Amino acid sequence: MSPPPSLYAGASPLPFDAEAAVEHLHARDRVLSRLITRVGPFGLQPEATQPPFQSLTESILHQQVTGKAAAAILGRFRAGFGTGRAFPRPERVVAASDEELRAVGISRSKAAALRDLAAKTLDGTVPGSRALAGMEDDAILERLTQVRGVGVWTVHMLLMFRLGRPDVLPVGDYGVRKGFARTFRTKGELPTPGEVAKRGERWRPYRSVASWYLWRALEVK
């Protein structure tokens, strides 16, 4: 999988000191340090204004389809279930039938996932933005993976690209593993998640920043 399109190089309002994070990585890992030098300044744009229900809905709709197809489905979903420019509310999604959701291009399994997400948003299992911001990473992971169709990778992306958390390492992400293989020259073979995690211990507490550079490793010579 690839990180969401909110990832980009440039200045960004992060809840941690990006320069200190980069200096930490330079000091802790000489191989990663060379990649950082080639890539240049770190940049990430958290989209913290987006409510968790909306973020997770978009993540579910993007699963197993191209970005173009997902955008089209999302547009029809917003037009069919939203009010004006407002994103569809969980109450509306809970009440929607399979037929209504299928009519905008949502598969049966994703329809079930969206209704479960909506129900768990209404009962408080999925916290609101303010509550989520005050929770520890592990607590967020435990809470959100109770939702059908929301796995560890999806929560990791939310932690990094919505909340700007500094110490997330999505070890199962294909792009991270591919970037790791290219950076650390693992004989053309993808490293196991365990191998990425082991190396990543030296990157704490800025594993999100290291992950960003591993993604960028696929774009530099």
Q: What is the DSSP letter of 201?
A: G
Q: Tell me the pLDDT tens digit for each residue of 26-67.
A: 999 999 999 999 999 998 878 767 899 999 999 999 998 898
Considering 29, 116, 167, 173, which one is annotated as catalytic? 173
Neighbours of 1 (CB within 10 A): 15
Domains with residue ranges and CATH for the chain = 18-46+167-216 (1.10.1670.40), 52-161 (1.10.340.30)
Note the pTM of the prediction, 2 decimals: 0.87
| Alpha-carbon torsion (129, 120, 93, 46), positive or negative | positive
- What tokens appear for 130 in the block? 């303010």
pLDDT tens-digit map of 131-173? 999 999 999 999 999 999 999 999 999 999 899 999 999 999 9
Q: In angstroms, rounded to a whole number, what is the distance separating the alpha carbons of residues 46 and 129? A: 13
Q: Active-site residue 98, yes or no?
A: no
